[in-house]
């Protein structure tokens, strides 16, 4: 039987993250790369050759040329956040399905224009938050849903930080106000906020309060941020994100009967296995010389890295639209919008002198 035709991707730009995601497209069983565009055709061609693109993949000297290629089904957009509105909206209008890097937009008003364009054209939208697609994520959810072992969620804390040195802090697009003005809050904070929302089944907090003493560079771009999220029910939720502290990717979740911790939720330390740690119904051992039962380590293996699983899931949704006339899956747009709304609220809290800010969806 003939193989199913893959979803044909075009890539807008030659960002470093595009190397990882293009590899994922070639590992995924239902996708391939047919085009890449850059402001320089020479740069696009060199990127394609360096990263092992199929020989037939076309290199273009503009982003629009990729969008005008009739052989492109979907585009991956790893451009600076300030360019997302322009190019994602144009991609959607040209009937290209969109996988876009996060943060998706500079604010929810921009995101709403992006989502409206995708919905109007009937194209699939997804942001590239890769950890959502690792099989470990589903197994962690199963533990959180176990009333006897985990119970009711009472507290969640997330950290994502890294320190890439002086050159990063001077030259990376993530610290440039005209390219990625949300800084650490938009980059690492996006993951932390997503982790909290995931933990509470995407219920939104009623308000957020940023923690005092966020740090900024001379251009006013955020380099560290922390906040607490306030829910109607009795859950304590906090996060810390930074470009100034050691690489850390933690989620800690405390329930009435159990505890879960993952040390590498953003990018697994090993791409073929993702561990997490569970405690259930924990007590002190006799004489308080330990605990019972012992912490359980669960390792979840995967044949494909999480970014390839993300591409596979996205491509599956695209194929349903192209081949079967299905409507676009709206779940991913809703999750992105909830994440963006909370990012916006934390930013507003910082700007208002760390006052509580209502979260309005």
Backbone angles phi, psi at 140, to 5 degrees: -65, -40
pLDDT at 4: 82
Cβ proximity of 279 and 258 under 8 Å: yes
Q: 101 exposed, middle or buried (CB, 10 Å; 0-12, 13-18, 19+)?
A: buried
pLDDT at 36: 98
pLDDT at 2: 52
d(CA 346, CA 341): 9
pLDDT at 308: 98
d(CA 186, CA 341): 11
pLDDT at 32: 98
pLDDT at 232: 87
Q: Which are the contacts of 333, defined by CB distance < 8 A and separation ≥ 6? A: 115, 118, 119, 125
Q: What are the beta bridge partners of residue 298?
A: 276
Cβ proximity of 101 and 87 under 8 Å: no
Cβ proximity of 239 and 161 under 8 Å: no
**Per-residue pLDDT tens listing for the chain (361 residues):** 456 899 999 999 999 999 999 999 999 999 999 999 999 999 999 999 999 999 999 999 999 999 999 999 999 999 999 999 999 999 999 999 999 999 999 999 999 999 999 999 999 999 999 999 999 999 999 999 999 999 999 999 999 999 999 999 999 999 999 999 999 999 999 999 999 999 999 999 999 999 998 999 999 999 999 999 999 888 999 999 999 999 999 999 999 999 999 999 999 999 999 999 999 999 999 999 999 999 999 999 999 999 999 999 999 999 999 999 999 999 999 999 999 999 999 999 999 999 999 999 8
Residue where the block lists tokens 């960002």: 15
Is 102 a known active-site residue? yes
Q: Which are the contacts of 265, defined by CB distance < 8 A and separation ≥ 6? A: 131, 158, 191, 195, 249, 250, 251
Pick the catalytic residue from 58, 96, 102, 319. 102
């Amino acid at each position: 039987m003939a193989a199913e035709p893959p979803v044909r991707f075009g890539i807008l730009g030659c960002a470093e993250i595009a190397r990882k995601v293009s590899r994922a497209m070639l590992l995924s069983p239902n996708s391939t790369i047919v085009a890449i565009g850059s402001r320089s055709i020479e740069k696009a061609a060199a990127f394609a050759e360096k990263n092992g693109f199929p020989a037939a993949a076309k290199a273009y000297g503009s982003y629009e040329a990729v969008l005008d290629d009739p052989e492109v089904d979907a585009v991956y957009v790893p451009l600076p956040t300030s360019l997302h509105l322009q190019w994602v909206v144009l991609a959607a209008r040209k009937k290209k399905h969109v996988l876009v890097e996060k943060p998706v937009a500079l604010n929810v008003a921009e995101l709403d224009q992006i989502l409206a364009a995708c919905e109007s054209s009937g194209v699939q939208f997804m942001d590239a938050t890769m950890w959502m697609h690792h099989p470990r994520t589903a197994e962690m959810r199963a533990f959180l849903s176990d009333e006897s072992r985990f119970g009711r969620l009472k507290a969640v804390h997330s950290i994502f930080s890294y320190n890439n040195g002086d050159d990063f802090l001077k030259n990376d697009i993530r610290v440039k106000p005209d390219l990625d003005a949300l800084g650490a809050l938009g980059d690492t904070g996006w993951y932390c906020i997503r982790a909290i929302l995931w933990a509470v089944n995407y219920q939104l907090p009623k308000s957020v309060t940023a923690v005092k003493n966020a740090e900024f560079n001379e251009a006013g771009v955020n380099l560290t941020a922390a906040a607490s999220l306030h829910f109607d029910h009795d859950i304590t939720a906090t996060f810390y994100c930074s470009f100034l502290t050691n690489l850390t990717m933690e989620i800690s979740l405390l329930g009435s009967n159990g505890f879960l911790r993952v040390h590498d939720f953003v990018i697994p330390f090993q791409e073929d296995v993702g561990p997490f740690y569970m405690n259930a119904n924990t007590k002190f051992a006799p004489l308080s010389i330990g605990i019972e039962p012992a912490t359980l380590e669960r390792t979840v293996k995967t044949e494909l890295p999480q970014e390839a699983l993300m591409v596979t899931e996205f491509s599956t949704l695209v194929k349903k639209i192209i081949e079967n006339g299905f409507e676009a899956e709206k779940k991913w747009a809703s999750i992105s919008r909830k994440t963006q709304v909370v990012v916006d609220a934390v930013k507003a809290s910082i700007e208002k002198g760390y006052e509580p800010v209502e979260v309005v969806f």
